Structures are given as structure tokens and as C-alpha cells.
Chain A
Amino acid sequence: MDPRNREICPKLLDLIPQGRKWYQEEKINNTDQEKKLELRLGPPGGDEDQSTMKKINIETRNNMKQQQQQNIKKESEDKSFHCFNGNHFAPSNKTTYVPQKRTAPGPVVGWPPVRSFRKNLASTSSSKLGNESSHGDQINKSDGGEKQVEPKKEGMFVKINMDSVPIGRKVDLNAYNSYEQLSFAVDKLFRGLLAAQRDISGGEGEEKPIIGLLDGKGEFTLTYEDNEGDKMLVGDVPWQMFVSSVKRLRVIKSSEISSSLTFGCSKQEKKIRH
């Protein structure tokens, strides 16, 4: 069973500019130490089949020279799932351990694939008139509101980009209640992508946690653009105020803070205004 694709037509290689190496290669270089520390499912050593299969596929992908980084996102989610969702499975136990919210990956748009009118059933008090489904001003919303579990609260997805990472992501701010949770989520989202980028530009491809986003002490800092177009550091205003005014997030290099937050309103002025 050799899934290698030798018969790719030569034209393909011409079309792909500077094919990047598949991110997966880096995963082989994970230290055994790290692997041992990862929570796994099934009996010890039971994962070997999987990693072998992954290795075969890695080589296949190498041949194909995928240029998109999108799969890196999948892989980092993959990994995080193996790490953190292992907690779910206590077979035959009634009391399953439910991981805390901060360890679960952020919600994904449209998953699980349940239509919005089926999503509000978990609300305890359903009054006759208190329907949260379609109201008069939502004619054109085909999504009927991205309804998360809490009724009357729609998912609030904002774009988030990170310096030197070409692929942007989206985060649901309603899934978090504090800056710390958000910061953690950002780390989860971009850690893998950043490592891949570093690998490509010739640096270390090892995954390092993205920390210090809020205090200026880390390599990166989290900033946002508010509804007036101003760029601000994240963390100064109360959480709810932040959520109500944020339009977009950006993770920038801490060394570039002063040049990024330009055009008029400085943080100082903003503070005074609010």
C-alpha cells in the first residue's frame, strides 16, 4: 500500500510557487518526552499505528508539496484534541470528567451541524413569548443568529491575524469571559501556525507557547481595532466593554507596539475619553 503519488502531472509543479514543506514533518521531530506527556486515548503504545500512518502520509504530502498552511490549523487542532479531549473518555464511568472551558478548543462555526432552530433547546425556561428565533429585523440573516448554548447570546466571531502568519483565523468572543481565556485561545490558535512559519523562514520550527500577550513581556502582544477604527492594546478596559467595541484582533510583535498603534488616538487619550 503505497500511497505516494508519483503520477502527478509535471504541470502541477510549475503552477505551485515555492511549494512549502508540509508542516507535518516537524511533528516527527517532537521529542519523545513531549509525546509521553501528551494525554492519549487508548492503551499505551496504542497510538503507534496512527503515527505510523501519519508518517506515510507525511511523505506523500511532501511529494505533493502542499503550499497552503490551512492544514496546519487542522493539525494543531488535531493535536489539541488528542491532548485535551482525552479527558472526556472514561469508559464505563457515569461520572465523566468535563474539561474546563479554557482547555477546550474554541467553538467552530457551524459545528456540530445542527440548524439554529434546534440549538436553543438547552435553555431551561422557555416561555411562550420569549422566543429567540427570527424577529422582524432579521429577514436577511440566513444564519438566524449563530446561536451558542446560552440563549439570547449570539456567537460573536471576530477576525484575528498574527504578524508573519499568512492565514487569519476567527475567534468567538462570547466563548470567553476574561482576557486570560482569550489570551489562552490565541495561543492555541496560532502556536502551531507560528512554528510552521518559523520553520519555513529557516528558524526553529519547534512549537513554543505564545505567552505574555497582555503584559507586554512576551514576544508578541495582542492588539485590537475598535468600532471607531482605533488600534489599541488589549486588556485595559473591562472585558464587557472590550467585547462590545472590538471589531478585529491582531497579534503583533511586541517590538513594534509603538509603530502599530498610530493615527491619532493614543491609548492614553482613549482612557481619558472613556
Chain B
Amino acid sequence: MTQDRTEMSEDDDDNSQSPPLDLRSAAIADHCSSSSSSTPNKSRNCMALNSQTFPDHVLENVLENVLQFLDSRCDRNAASLVCKSWWRVEALTRSEVFIGNCYALSPTRLTQRFKRVKSLLLKGKPRFADFNLMPPDWGANFAPWVSTMAKAYPWLEKVDLKRMFVTDDDLALLADSFPGFKELILVCCEGFGTSGIAIVANKCRKLKVLDLIESEVTDDEVDWISCFPEGVTSLESLAFDCVEAPINFEALEGLVGRSPFLKKLRLNRLVSLEELHRLLLGAPQLTSLGTGSFSHDNAPQSEQEPDYAAAFRACKSVVCLSGFRDLMPEYLPSILPVCSNLTSLNFSYANISPDMFKPIIHNCHRLQVFWALDSICDEGLQAVAATCKELRELRIFPFDPREESEGPVSELGLQAISEGCRNLESILYFCQRMTNAAVIAMSENCPELTVFRLCIMGRHRPDHVTGKPMDEGFGAIVKNCKKLTRLAISGLLTDQAFRYMGEHGKLIRTLSVAFAGDSDMALRHVLEGCPRLQKLEIRDSPFGDVALRCGMHRYYNMRFVWMSACPLSKGCCKDVARAMPNLVVEVIGSDDDDDNRDYVETLYMYRSLDGPRNDVPKFVTIL
């Protein structure tokens, strides 16, 4: 069963193998300039001269009919490199465009190459911006994109943004410019409020999907739910769990009642359990449900409590459950009727103890995706391991995210999961103590792992049993998990761990490093040894100028490199910028950085086809 991509919002969502930046081929085709990348320069002599002759028209028509079936980004990029004719036809038939870094190119370049785009997936800020490592107002504005596309793609249907700054005006322009607009997905975005949402709700009459996920939405005190037009809607998915503003429940109930195609509904924490109950009675066809607060006001309305379990029993199609934002634990057993159908369960807002948890999870045999807080303890994880044999993705978040907190989960939970859930593909695990043995065990028991993110919350913490660094554990992961594409490391780590990564991590695309390593050699191992590396984010690690220079042969083939609180000098960064003209080298500092003139607080660099951006705030210097 395919999982909704929007659920894995924090994760890397491009599953394809690392393609070259598809628009770099535009540079090659347009400017005939060869960057220092290793893209093969296929012959473009064929057809160039005879493009107007009759047989080629036929060829292009045939090609167009064939290429329109090509969905995969990777395949399309490859096809576009065959020759100029294929490049042209591919550009005409590409309807879905993915742009991994909004500053890699300008909106104009997009609209000039691809003429018939119906769907855009655009990513902005780098991930470390989520953790306050970047000052606000850095950029990633949606405005230039929406204004350019408004003129070029009036038929646009879908916009999917991640970590972009979107204003209400942008949303208004979007709603006005695209009459057939169907899907708006905003993940980790900010800059807009309920007034912008109201405009979209009101004007996009064909709207099927309105998903606001982990975004910051200002409460403009607008009743946006009431702004949906009257009559039957096309809504299939409505997710507003991140909107921290009260909603008009009657309007919502009415909306749900006239949305026969609604399959996914994610309520915010201001919807009570009784209100949820009413909604469920009216929408038994739901497949994905975000339950809101899962609690009620102090004084229940009626004397007799609604039969929540019955309401859930009626929802035979629910396979994905989340919410529980203010869970009242005594009501948790109400979800039991749907447990055996669940393929995805998100308890990551609920402080659930092992005793509360075990009776629930005991029924979830089909679970594939499970997110929770560490309050379920190792004991809870053992229960997961015992029951959820189909588990593919696990995320355990800390209930108390401080370095010195207790930490109810440990290597015991990890070990248990590795033994019980052999099909595990993706794991994110926050803990306070870990051992190499458990990590090694996971590497051996779970060969399908593609994503391994372990966060030992105390910095530089070694294996708590042996006292040794965590090198061997992570080494085993890169050695044994042959499909690994994403890795996040933590704990006490020496250069040895990086040596392992360089030697074995041949498929790694995304690497997150924090407080790790001893010397430049560590980073050098990775830059020289990981040919598929696309996204590199490093903080507070002792990698300096020498290490930075070691990667110059790679930076054009990467989406971005982030290094903050590393001993880099401005001089060296300038050298890199000078040597690589298509690389934008941003030095991001805090406000008055005059004390440390040569010190680079944050380096963020990325390839770009259109040179440095023109919306640079004053705390950013482009070298």
C-alpha cells in the first residue's frame, strides 16, 4: 500500500537515485559550457541541422507521444541528454517539475524550458534552518515563482512547497491565476496566515488537496473554513493540524458533509473529542484521520458520553491515524476497532506510557509506519517489535528534548526493533544512551535500511557500556546496509567513523553531522569517498579550510553544503567561490559580526545556473 508522501514530511522525498540536476543539462544545451562536472557530453550533432525536415516532424511527434508516459524524473533527465531533439520534446512533455533548491535557478529559466508544467515541487531553506541555525528572513520566497508562473502556466494544478516563505499575497495571486488549481501542499512553510488560506479555499473551486503540514500559520482570526464555496466540493484531502487557531466547527461539519470524496482529514488541536465524534459519524469513508486534541473540555456536554469506539468501528477504511494532540489517556482504547487495519500510526504528540500503549499496539499487525514519543519506553518498543512485523518506518521523538533529560529509550529498544522488524527501511531514533552493539545488531538484522538517523542527545556521548566512541556502530551501518541513502550520526565519533563512511557509504545522498570528528581528514574521507553525496549538513565539527578544499571536485554535483560553527576562514571560502563560478557561496552571520572578521559562522553553498540571488538579506554575504 503506498504511503502518503506528505506523512513523511521531515524526510527526503526524492526516492530516485541521484540524478544530475536536471536543469544543468539546460546549461549545457543553452550555453554549451562544460562545468567541471562529470556529466557525459552526448553528441548533439544529430538532427541539429535538419530539424525542419519532414521525417523529423514525425519523429518528434512519435517521441512526444512516447515521452509523455515517462514519469520518473531520473528517466526524463536521462532522456533529455540524448540529443537536442529529445531535449526539446522532453521539455514539452514534462508536466511535473521538481526543484530541490529554489535558488539553483531562476523562475524564468523554468518557464523558458518547460512549457507545459502542471505541477511544481519546490524546496527552499536548508533543513538546519528548522533548528534556529539560520536567522529569519533569509529568503526562499515563493513570490517570484508564483508571479512568473502566473503568466506562464495558467493551467497549473499543483504546488508543493517545502521550507518556503509564502505570503498571503502569494496565495491570493495563486488563487487568482490558476483557475484549474487542484492541490496545495505546504510543508514547513511560513509567512502566511489564515487569511491566505481563506482566499485559496474560496477561489480555487476545483481544490482537491489542501495540506498544511508542520507550517507556521498566523491566526488572522479569519473563519477560513466558512470560505469554502457552497455545494459539493472536490476535496479529497484537508490537513490543518498545524494551524493553531480555533475553527468554526459547524462550518467544518458542513464542509465534511458536502465533500463526498474526502479521504484524508487532519484536524488541529482545537477540535475536541466530541466534535471528532460528530465528524466521524458523517464521514465514515475516511482513510486517513488526524484526530485533533483527543480530549474534551472539562464539562462534557451531554450526560451520556458518546460511544467513541462505535464511531471508530464505523470507520472501516481508516488506515492512517494521527493527532492525539492533548490526549486524555482513558479514551485511547476507543481506537481499538481500527487498529488491525492501520498501516500508519502517529503518536508523536502523545505522552503515552508503556502500560497504555501495549494493549493498543498489540492489535496493529499491519503497521508499516510508526511515529511516537520515547515515553513508550524500551518496553513499548519491545511490544512494537513483537507485533509489527511489517514495520518499514519508525520515528521515536524525545518527550523531553534536553541533553540532560532522563531518556526512557536506549539501546534495548533499538535492539528489540532490529530483531522484530526485519523489513525496516527508515529509522529516526532520539535517545540518551546507546551502544555500538545495538547499532551493529540493527545493521545486521535490517538489511533493507535506506535511512538511518540516530540522535544521541548528549553531545560527544560514547557507547555507555564500553566507553568507546560510536565509530564501530555507524561503521557497521554503512558496511552492512547496502541500500543506505541517508545517514545522520551522533555521539562521540572520531575520524575513523568517517573513514568507514567514505569507504562503504557509496549510495549515501544525505549526510547530517553534528559535534563529530577530530580533524579535516574526517570530512575529506566523506568528500572523496561518497560519490552520490548530494546534501551535506554539518555543524559544530572541527572541519576547516583543508577539508573544504578537498571537495571542490564534488560541489557542482551536489545540491548543497551546509557548514556551521566549523573552523572555516573567509579567505578559503572566497577561494572556493572564485574557483567555482557556478557555485553560490553564502556566508551567513548573525547581526554584528565585526568581532570575528575572518571567521565564517555559517557557510551555505549550492550550485546555481543563474548566479547569486538578488534577494540577499544584510546578514548574508555572497562571496
Contact = CB atoms under 8 A, between A and B. Distances in A.
Interface of A: 3, 5, 8, 12, 15-16, 40-43, 46-47, 49-50, 53-54, 57, 60-61, 64, 66-71, 73-74, 77-78, 81-82, 85, 88-89, 91, 96, 98-99, 101, 104-105, 107-119, 121-122, 126, 128-129, 131, 133-136, 138-144, 146, 148-149, 159, 161, 166-168
B381 interface: no
Nearest to A47: B467
B288 to A, nearest CB: 20
Interface in B403-453: 403-404, 406, 430, 432-433
Contacts of B565: 70, 73
Interface string B583-619: 0000000101001100100000000000000000000
B509 interface: no
B439 to A, nearest CB: 16
A66 B567 contact: yes
Contacts of A70: 542, 565-567, 599
Nearest to B350: A121
Contact of A109 (B132, B218, B402): B132
Contact of B400 (A40, A57, A122, A131): A122
A43 B467 contact: yes
B132 A8 contact: no
B220 A74 contact: no
A113 B402 contact: no
B533 interface: no
A67 B569 contact: yes
Contact of B519 (A8, A61, A77, A109): A61
B549 interface: yes
B495 A167 contact: no
B223 interface: no
Contacts of A119: 401
A108 B371 CA distance: 26
24 contacts: A41-B462, A41-B464, A43-B467, A50-B468, A57-B494, A68-B567, A68-B568, A68-B569, A74-B540, A77-B460, A77-B515, A89-B433, A109-B132, A113-B514, A114-B397, A121-B399, A128-B297, A134-B218, A134-B244, A135-B219, A136-B219, A139-B190, A142-B136, A142-B165
Interface string B463-482: 01111110000000000000
Contacts of A16: 545, 569
Given A60-B521, A114-B398, A142-B138, A96 B326 contact: no
Nearest to B135: A142
A74 B542 contact: yes
Given A12-B545, A121-B349, A64 B519 contact: yes
Nearest to B590: A159
Interface residues of B, number: 90
Contacts of B129: 142
Given A104-B403, A128-B270, A140 B191 contact: yes
Interface of B: 125, 128-138, 165, 190-191, 193, 214, 216-220, 242, 244, 246, 269-270, 272, 293, 297, 326, 348-349, 351, 373, 397-404, 406, 430, 432-433, 455, 457-462, 464-469, 494-496, 514-515, 518-521, 539-542, 544-546, 549, 565-569, 571-572, 575, 590, 592, 595-596, 599
Contacts of A140: 136-137, 191
A141 B467 contact: no
Contact of A42 (B466, B518, B520, B596): B466
Nearest to B326: A126
B411 to A, nearest CB: 10
Interface hub of A3, A138, A142 (most chain B Cβ within 10 A)? A142
Contacts of B351: 121
A41 to B, nearest CB: 4
Interface hub of B216, B244, B349, B399 (most chain A Cβ within 10 A)? B216
B461 A81 contact: yes
A57 B465 contact: no
Nearest to A24: B518
Nearest to A60: B519
B519 A139 contact: no
A121 B402 CA distance: 12
Given A66-B567, A114-B397, A71 B542 contact: yes
Contacts of A166: 595-596, 599
Given A43-B467, A142-B190, A8 B595 contact: no
A3 B495 contact: yes
A133 B244 contact: yes
8 nearest A-B pairs in the assembled complex, by CB-CB distance: A42-B467, A110-B131, A68-B567, A41-B467, A70-B567, A143-B132, A71-B542, A142-B136
Contacts of B191: 139-140
A236 to B, nearest CB: 26
Contact of B546 (A12, A57, A138): A12
B397 A143 contact: no
A68 B575 contact: no
B467 A64 contact: no
A126 B353 CA distance: 17
Given A98-B404, A167-B599, A134 B216 contact: yes
Contacts of B519: 3, 57, 60-61, 64
B462 A108 contact: no
B468 A42 contact: yes
A238 to B, nearest CB: 27
A166 B593 CA distance: 11
A167 B433 CA distance: 32
Nearest to B375: A121
A139 B349 contact: no
A42 to B, nearest CB: 2
B478 to A, nearest CB: 18
Nearest to B138: A142
Contacts of A115: 130-131, 214
Interface hub of B461, B465, B518, B545 (most chain A Cβ within 10 A)? B518
A138 B430 contact: no
A7 B341 CA distance: 60
A149 B595 contact: no
Nearest to A139: B218
A252 B349 CA distance: 46
Contacts of A143: 132, 136
A68 B599 contact: yes
